[in-house]
Structure 1
Amino acid sequence: MTPPLHAQTGPARPSRPEVLHVITDLRQGGAEAMLEKLILTSRAVTPEIVHRVISLRTIGTVGPRLDSAGVQVDALGATGLQSLPACLRQLTALLARTPPPTVVQTWLYHADLLGGLAAWRAGRTVVWNIRQTGLERADIGRTTRAVVRTCGLLSRHIPARILCNASAAIPAHARMGYDPDRFQVIPNGFDTTVFKRDEAGARQVRAAWGLRDDEVAIGLVARLDPQKDHATFVRAAAIAATHMPALRFVLVGRGIPDSTALRQAIAEAGLCKHFVLDSERSDIPRVMSALDVFCLSSRAEGFPNVLGEAMACETPAVSTDCGDARIVLGDDTYIAPVQDAAALAGCIMEVAMLSPAQRRALGARQRERIVREFDIREVWNSYLALYTELVGAPSAGQPI
């Protein structure tokens, strides 16, 4: 990895088109995955645009991958509220001593706040990026709610634009004081050359999970988080299993195997032998390909990345009506009301009862929707068009 900011010395780099991304952390997650995809697509489509990434906390799992792709990545090592003033000073100093970047693109609330303030103090153009719709006390902690409210107050003064990946995020944030006139929706995108069906990988993953070829596996890939609502998934699984006792259920994500509460809920439902619990994985196309049905049970999302990833891998998907899940799926047949376990179980069973050939056909149709509507190259073009509008950077295909 590149040395920490305080260790960097030498003359200033020549002025070049640049996007300086500031993100709260680089552990695997939806925002982090989108940042990675966006940068890698930009490097392939518009290699003249330079990207740099600053993580307020750690380089996580995404940072090393970006670094190996030639992207400069730094981490400020923030560990709590007491370290945020130092982060602000570092970011402000960084922007002051380097050539003006094309734009400062922040990701997630803490980065919106600190990166926004640093950019404002340095006289740089900043774009915020909001990635969720759930802002209730059950969805986010007290500190994060305070950051959100502060950003709401600053939203009329600091960001040139506020991006969100779901239209549902606009009214939710307007209620927290955000300026609704600064919002612009750019959905998530998917690299369908990466997210595609992997039959060989599916067999290996299913074997590791102890699943037979003839067993129908219903899965959710998501970190353990109240917004992901694993409790509703377990309740839906219990209902579906009473009608289809041979069903198997798979949960994959950070914190899953270590959750005593989750294991207790599964045990109380009498489903211990039906469930597989796996930790966070990086081989998502293989994981998705190993599932027969993907089921998103979230009560709050922005644009649900993981839903599109499942669809891109031709895994038939069902979901609660969270964020823009309905827009991603494009078919209300497979949408259930949030926290309605019975309705979600109905969606699961409707797909699980199809023949293997019918499930494959449904999966193929869902992949085609992702290819047609959510191509990552078009999403990058939308970002680039915004940057061009705001600061006059060359658009795609123009000489620099």
Structure 2
Amino acid sequence: MKIVHIISGLGVGGAETLLLNLVSESRTAGGTHVVISLSGIDKMADRLRAAGAEVRFLGMRSGVPNPLLLIRLARWIVEARPDVVQTWMYHADIFGGVAVLLARLMFRLSRQRHRFVLVWGIHRTEVPTAKVGRVLNTLARMGAATSNRLPDSVICCANASFRTHVEYGYERTKMRVIHNGFDVRKFVPDATARTALLNELGLPPGSILIGIVGRSNPAKDYDNFLRAAAMLHQRVPECHFVMVGKDVDTNNKTLTRTMNELGLSGVCHLLGARNDLHRIMPAFDMLCLSSRTEGLPTVVGEAMACSVPCVVTDVGDTGQLVGDTGLVVPPRDPVSLSDALEQMATLSLEQRKTLGRLARERIVESFSITVCWQQYRDMYATLLRAKGVTR
């Protein structure tokens, strides 16, 4: 099966990570992939190439789309002769959808009988309002208006995404939920990781390491996390807070000012962006997710795969992901978050290990990238059969 993926850019994020994992997982099943980035953002490009994908960059810039680039994108689709065009997120859904229309026209004009399917991808829970971003809001409205006739199917990464987008006007009969899958071979428990991170941070063995992973962005609600951490620090002073993500470093003046105001400067450790999360994650005694909004958060699944229990806010399908292996609290409620972190921190080591073991079992059984790819592959095959395609 040949799949052309169209994505806004190849930065480091949840959708991009899922794409990489799907490409890697499908190699043994004979899947071939062409990844087309609309922009020039290329941080994931080398990793995708190493996983076996061909990677191309269209070079679109923000603003009004260049029609010539849309024609080039359509020609690339025709050259690839795919079985499936899979788009990722609103920009790619709309621009890729238009390019698919052009590509199908090109096939007809050249009298080539080549049929393929178009599948959109939605990877956020809330539909973006104009306040969030006018361009995103416009693209979402265009998606809702054309979802009944342009794509063959629309994949949502979470049930919450499905509900909000159907309510917004997306065609219910086209929508399908496939939860993100996680790499359970890369993210594994590591008994040596905790000691290594304690040594790196210069902390005593009795410290309790609470990790949080995510870029500095209002959606991740670091203010919620820090206020919860300040309350917890008063009650369980051996807790240390390890913060990882883009712009989560000492150059972030807003973050460091809040830490200092809350008396956390000595117990918060800002590691910034890291490319070795699979080595850091197993060191945590627990992972915290303090977000205001998520679909199905990658970092939570990866932590669970490392046998790390999680304390999370009830956003998107996060609660469904965690199940009874961790604690779930309302978003934007630092008191509840602090209480849940304290509950987890005051468990015995064996109790936390038990929760961690159950967390990994849950990911392996229901949320692994193997399970995810099987669901994508089966859906593609069903759509192709419906078009009478047997190749």
Deviation at 1:245, TM superposition (A): 1.9
User: 5 Å matches for 1:212-251?
Assistant: 212-251=204-243
- Write the distance in 2 (CA, Å) between the matches of 1:142 and 1:192: 38
Q: In the alignment, is the contact (CA less than 8 A) between 2:130 and 2:137 conserved in 1?
A: no
Corresponding residue for residue 8 of structure 1: none
Report the counterpart of residue 110 of structure 2 in structure 1. Answer: none
Distance 1:106 1:347, change over 3 A: same
What is aligned with 1:392?
A: 385
Q: In the alignment, is the contact (CA less than 8 A) between 1:253 and 1:281 conserved in 2?
A: yes
Q: In 2, are the aligned partners of 1:139 and 1:226 still within 8 Å (CA)?
A: no
- The aligned counterpart of 1:152 is 144
> What are the ranges of 5 or more consecutive residues in structure 2 without an aligned counterpart?
105-115
Judge conservation of contact 1:22–1:111 (CA < 8 Å) in 2. Answer: yes
Structure 1 equivalent of residue 184 of structure 2: 192
1:77 aligns with 2:77: no
Separation in 2, partners of 1:23, 1:216: 39
Cα shift at 1:208: 2.5
Q: 1:326 aligned to 316, 319, 322, which one? A: 319
How far residue 132 of structure 1 moved from its aligned partner, in angstroms, is 1.0
**2:183–2:302 Cα contact (<8 Å) kept:** no
| DSSP-derived class of the 1:250 partner | strand
Q: Deviations over 1:126-162 (max 9, x none)?
A: 1001111033549832221222112111212211100
The alignment of Structure 1 onto Structure 2 pairs a total of residues equal to 376
For residue 49 of structure 2, the aligned residue among 59, 67, 79 is 67
Aligned partners of 2:363 and 2:135: how far apart in 1?
A: 36
Gaps of 5+ in 1: 1-16, 394-398
Tell me which of 26, 35, 43 is aligned to 1:42. 26
Q: Determine helix, strand or coil for the equivalent of 1:251.
A: strand
Any residues of structure 2 matched to 1:54-203 within 5 Å, and which?
A: 54-58=36-40, 60-82=42-64, 85-96=67-78, 98-123=79-104, 124-137=116-129, 140-203=132-195
Matching of residue 368 in structure 1 with residue 385 in structure 2: no
CA deviation after TM superposition for structure 1 residue 20, in Å = 0.3
The offset of 1:359, in angstroms, is 1.4
Q: For the residues of structure 1 that align with 2:66 and 2:353, how far apart are their CA atoms? A: 49
CA distance in 1, matches of 2:191, 2:296: 27
Worse overlay, 168-177 or 322-331: 168-177
Distance in 2 separating the partners of 1:359 and 1:185: 31
Tell me whether 71-80 or 133-142 shows the greater mean CA deviation: 133-142
CA contact (8 A) 1:311 1:363 kept: yes
Deviations 1:230-253 (A, max 9, x none): 111111111211211221111100
Structure 1 residue 262 corresponds to structure 2 residue 260: no
Structure 2 Cα separation of the partners of residues 139 and 194 of structure 1: 38
Maintained 8 Å contact 1:297/1:319:
yes
Report the Cα distance in structure 2 between the residues aligned to 1:246 and 1:193, rounded to whole angstroms.
32
2:309 is matched with: 316
Please state whether the residue corresponding to 1:272 is helix, strand or coil.
Answer: coil
The AA in structure 2 aligned to 1:290 is: A
> Which SS does the other structure have where 1:168 is aligned?
helix
Deviations 1:2-27 (A, max 9, x none): xxxxxxxxxxxxxxx31000111111
Spell out the pairing of 1:256-295 with structure 2 (5 A cutoff): 256-257=248-249, 258-295=251-288
Instruction: Tell me which amino acid in the other structure corresponds to 1:236.
Output: A
Aligned-pair identity (%): 37
Aligned position for 1:29: 13
Matched residues in 1 for 2:73 and 2:296: separation? 29
Distance 1:81 1:208, change over 3 A: farther
Change (3 A) 1:126 1:134: same
Tell me, in whole angstroms, the C-alpha distance in 2 between the residues paired with 1:253 and 1:360: 25
SS in structure 1 opposite 2:192?
Answer: helix
> How far apart in 2 are the matches of 1:375 and 1:327?
15
Note closer, same or farther for the CA distance 1:65–1:136 as it changes in structure 2 (3 Å cut).
closer
Work out the CA distance in 2 between the residues paired with 1:206 and 1:332: 25
* Cα displacement (A) at 1:381: 1.0
Do the aligned partners of residues 300 and 84 (structure 1) sit closer, same or farther apart at CA in structure 2, a change above 3 Å counting? farther
* Equivalent residues of 2:21, 2:369 under 8 A apart: yes
Secondary structure of the equivalent of 2:205? coil
Kept after mapping to 2: 8 A contact 1:198/1:285: no
Between 21-30 and 257-266, the greater mean CA deviation after superposition: 257-266
